[in-house]
Amino acid sequence: MNAATSKDGIAVATSPHSARRSVLRGPGPRAAVLALAALGLAALAAGCAAPSPRPVTPAPHAAGHQAAAHAGTTSQSGAATAAATCNPAASSLAPMGPPDVTAGSYMATIKQRGYLIAGVDQSTYHFGYLNPLDGKIEGFDIDMIRAVAKAIFGDPDKVQYKAISDQDRISAVTSGSVDIVAHTMTITCDRLKQVDFSSVYFDAHGRVLIPDDSKATNGLAGLAGQKVCATSGSDSVNTIEQYPVHPKITAIQRPFWTDCLVLLQQDQVGAISTDDAILYGLQAQDPFTKVVGPQLTDEPYGLAMSKQHPDFVRFVNAVLAKDESDGGWETSYKRWVNPAGATPPTPHYAS
């Protein structure tokens, strides 16, 4: 697990003038891949790859999110506990060959409509955000959506973006108001009861963002009794409130992550805690902050889709697999996350 702790050495180059030059640098993603591989093995060893593609038993996913908070060795213990019933990182349906819009499939319905409807974030820098200069939504998540649109239409622009807030992600999918959600959305056992996810397309980890002059360089452990911001209804709120320090940390909830950065800049909170993917996007907007502390949680990101359309889930997984093998994923990663590039997560499927 030295790979995990080595993430602390991540350096961030920030230029406020170019979103694209601010990066998340370090061996982290590769380490995450190794961790994932280990996790997959652990899952196999536990013999828990459920025959049903959609595990329904409630899972103590909190274990994966909080138990290993101090150690930074979350993958092993988290997976081992959660694996008893559900493995978020290997929960999706395997593709049936290369992406193909088969007759009568949900993809055919989308194609008939003329555009893909995607629920996305509009305020998470580098993953899904509305660029105020040209009014377009862009980022790493958005590139995943564009790959899906390209596979259906041959045109990555045939997408209707619906900006949704964190707490509307599940309902947007279950109500059918969007075909797919790409929204720095962690695959969890709870969420798997309501929606289907694609295979993991990005491995994030919960950490902490503090101002440069803050003393809490060891993360939440140094923030006892202080206020820490997270978005309303996010899992990060639980991570913050249940962190074992005395006095307890107070979670301040805001609709968007950028709202948290406003509070941090106004000294109304001592830190922001959530996935590093999001925190690096915030740090890129304020060079006088830094991401610190051990990895608190594993946050494997997946694209969320309705349970009504397993054919679409398999199709999207085929698109991701193709994207990851033909260099599309790495191009996006280099553009939005780290110019040094990384190896894409190795997909694991439940069936």
Partner 1 sequence: MVHAAVRAGRPAGAVVGRIRQQRLDLAATPGRLWLLLIGLVTLCLAWGALSAYTAQHYSSAASSVVNTREQLSLDAQQIYSHLSDANDATATAFLAPGPESAATRTRYTSDIAAASSGIEQVTADGGVTGTAAQDLAVLAKFLPTYTQEIGDAEANNRLGLPLGAAYLRDASGLMRGNLLTSAKDLYAAENASLSAASAQATGLPLIIVTLVVGVAVGFLLYRASRWLRGRTNRVLNVGLVAAGTLLAVSVIWLAAAFLGARSDLLSAQARGSATVEAVAQASITAQEAHADESLTLIDNTGRDSYEMDFIAQSKALGPGDGTLLAGAAAAAAGTPAGPTVTTAASDATAWFADHTALRALDDHGQHPAAVNSALGTGAKDSGAAFTRLADDFAAAIHSDQAVFNSTAPAAASAYAGVVAATIAAALLMAAACVWGLSRRIAEYR
Tokens of 50: 């459920």
Site string for partner 1, 5-24 (x = CB under 8 A): -----------xx-x-----
Residue 117 found at the interface with partner 1 (CB under 8 A): yes
Question: 327: phi > 0 → left, psi -120 to 50 → alpha, else beta; which?
Answer: left
Choice between 105 and 165, CB closer to partner 1: 165
Build a one-symbol-per-residue string for 155-174: x at contacts with partner 1 by CB under 8 A, - elsewhere.
-----xxxxxx--x---x--
Among 66, 74, 75, 123, which residue interacts with partner 1 (rule: CB under 8 A)? 123
**C-alpha to C-alpha distance for 166 and 230, rounded to whole angstroms:** 11
Identity of the residue, 20 or 25, whose beta carbon is nearer to partner 1 in the bound complex: 20
Kindly report the backbone phi and psi dihedral angles of residue 211, in degrees, each rounded to the nearest multiple of 5, phi listed first.
-65, 155
Cβ partners under 8 Å of residue 161, min gap 6: 118, 120, 137, 142, 145
Strands 159-163 and 250-254 come out as unpaired
By CB under 8 A, is residue 125 in contact with partner 1? Answer: yes
- Per-residue contact flags (x/-) with partner 1 for residues 263 to 282, judged by CB under 8 A: --x-----------------
Total residues at interface with partner 1 (CB under 8 A): 34
Q: Which amino acid is at 313?
A: V
- By CB under 8 A, tell whether 261 contacts partner 1: yes
Interface with partner 1, residue 51, by CB under 8 A? no
Residue from the set 190, 286, 311, 330 that interacts with partner 1 by CB under 8 A: 286
| Residue 107 binds partner 1, judged by CB under 8 A | no
Half-sphere exposure (Cβ direction) of 281: Cα atoms closer than 13 Å: 28
Residues 201, 30 contacting (CB under 8 angstroms): no
Which of 2, 103, 104, 133 forms a contact with partner 1 (CB under 8 A)? Answer: 133
Q: Shortest gap between Cβ of 138 and partner 1 (angstroms)?
A: 10
Q: Can you tell me which of 122, 214, 231, 273 binds partner 1, judged by CB under 8 A?
A: 122
What are the tokens at 274? 């959530």
Binding mask 30-49 for partner 1 (x = CB under 8 A): --------------------
Rounded CA separation 173/28 (Å): 31
What one-character-per-residue DSSP string does 73-142 give?
-HHHHHHHHHTTT--GGG-BPPP-SS----TTSHHHHHHHHTSEEEEE-SEETTTEEEETTTTEEESHHH
Residues that bind partner 1 (CB under 8 A): 16-17, 19, 115, 117, 122-125, 129-135, 160-165, 168, 172, 177, 255-256, 258-259, 261-262, 265, 285-286
